[in-house]
Amino acid sequence: MKIVLVGGGGREHALAWKLAQNKRVEEIVVIPGSSGMIEVAEYLPVEWDTAEELADIICSQQPDLVIIGNEAPLEAGIVDILQERKVTVFGPTKAAARIETSKSFAKHLFTKYRIPTASYGVFIDPEEAIRFLEVQTAPYVIKADGLAAGKGVVIAATREEAEQAIIQLLKTGERIVIEEFMEGEEASLLAFVDGETVVPMIAAQDHKRLLDDDAGPNTGGMGAYAPAAVVTPEIYEQAVETILKPTAAALVREGCPFRGVLYAGLMITAEGPKVVEFNCRFGDPETQVLMPLLDSDLTDVILQICRGEIAEVELSWLQAHAVCVVLASFGYPRQTYTGDVIRGLMDVARRDALVFHAGTRYIDGKYYTDGGRVLNVVAVRPNLRAAKDAAYAAVSEISFDGMQYRTDIADKELKKSEEK
């Protein structure tokens, strides 16, 4: 069997690593992928402008199965085109992907179907938006209404900051959303979905801010761990019953049934879990901790869903914990410096850890940095403390100029459990 996977980051490396464990998988081609994935997959470093162009590239590979990792091709309608061409593809259509690609579509759906989330307003006019601040309390949450790779949100402590953000975001985008600030801890709950049927994974936690103690700017994600105990069995059940299942059902009712991975970004508030955002794909870096813990065969699960047999999918998980630390390049997330030589990758082997490449390039026997997020270092151990220590022991082997990483991945949970 030949699989084409679209995307090129650490998430796709982790997916390819997991897909490759199925003995019937003979070939995996990641588009564009990167040379960091060569141990598990081939890569095709092509560029594409339109979804049609990407579809042509995919079809020229004659794949048995296509999996879309990242959101941009989903927004461009790649799944719709591949379905027309009778290609087996896993991912949502353009219309269903709006749950991520349009914050105002998602918000409208939450209100209509009473899915718990922050109250909000949508604005195109800066003056109206600024007036709306008067009936809100600080901190103010202001979001661009489109894909922004996790970087389109401003949490403003003061009215002045909020006004500046409104003006700035409406200069570059057409629409903004202003919403109530939700207090709590965040968690990510991803699920395989087909129509109304939802098969949830275990909960994970991302670390979105650049620096320790959740300081610094928002990023695409600086590390993750799973399972996330902040999602207790009770909260898990609530999140599945009041958020994931109603959202899947709402998309069916709106005429855009979802097939793929639905990712609920949750805030665990005093009133229970609420939605911060939905994504229409696997999370990055959550996938880097979920795949090593998934005991079921990913290829089989995805094929089953593509055959319309999601009701028969049962996921099994290792009784273990995984921690992922993201190593980012100098300047991330504002600017990306590339071309620094990465040292110590070979030495990680003795640490019993996994390294998923996010932005690297292999030239003449050496790896170089080639993106904002460069590497994901993952350790799986019987308990969270051991997983964290092992991940950082592996990190200590690696170095490159300007390397940035957080030293506190999973600490919130470790502190809580060790205080008990």
What is the spatial distance between Cα 337 and Cα 157, in angstroms, rounded to a whole number? 31
Q: Exposed, middle or buried, 16 (CB in 10 Å: 0-12/13-18/19+)?
A: buried
Site string for ligand AMP, 216-245 (x = CB under 6 A): --x---------------------------
User: How far is the CA of 128 from the CAs of 113, 124, 169, in angstroms?
Assistant: 26, 8, 14
> Interface with ligand GLY includes 286 (CB under 6 A)?
yes
Q: Which of 8, 69, 246, 283 binds ligand GLY (CB under 6 A)?
A: 283
Name the DSSP letter for residue 243: I
CB of 177 vs ligand AMP, minimal distance in Å: 9
Site string for ligand AMP, 136-155 (x = CB under 6 A): -----x-x------x--x--
Site string for ligand AMP, 105-124 (x = CB under 6 A): -------------x------
What is the spatial distance between Cα 175 and Cα 143, in angstroms, rounded to a whole number? 9
> Interface with ligand AMP includes 181 (CB under 6 A)?
yes
Closer to ligand AMP by CB, 55 or 154: give it. Answer: 154
Q: Enumerate residues 193-232 that contact ligand GLY by CB under 6 A.
A: 206, 221
Instruction: Choose the contact partner of 182 out of ligand AMP, ligand GLY, none; CB within 5 to 8 A by kind.
Output: ligand AMP
Q: Other C-beta atoms within 10 Å of 352: how many?
A: 12
Helix, strand, coil percent values for the chain (each to nearest 5): 35, 30, 35
Burial 371-393 (b: 16+ CB within 10 A, else e): bbbbbbbbbbbeebbebbebbbb
Region of 8-16, 126-134, 173-181, 193-201 interacting with ligand AMP (CB under 6 A): 173-181
Q: Enumerate residues 244-303 that contact ligand AMP by CB under 6 A.
A: 265, 276-277
Q: Which of 32, 126, 146, 150 binds ligand GLY (CB under 6 A)?
A: 150
State the distance between the two ends of the chain, measured CA to CA, in whole angstroms.
49
Q: Which of 102, 279, 288, 404 binds ligand GLY (CB under 6 A)?
A: 279
Instruction: Choose the contact partner of 181 out of ligand AMP, ligand GLY, none; CB within 5 to 8 A by kind.
Output: ligand AMP
From 36, 101, 89, 96, select the one nearest 58 (Cα to Cα): 89
From 56, 407, 63, 116, select the one nearest 276 (Cα to Cα): 116
Region of 74-82, 280-288, 314-322, 358-366 interacting with ligand GLY (CB under 6 A): 280-288
> Interface with ligand GLY includes 284 (CB under 6 A)?
yes
From 230, 213, 223, select the one nearest 273 (Cα to Cα): 230
Burial 95-107 (b: 16+ CB within 10 A, else e): bbbbbbbbbbbbb
Contact residues: ligand GLY, CB under 6 A? 150, 206, 221, 279, 283-284, 286
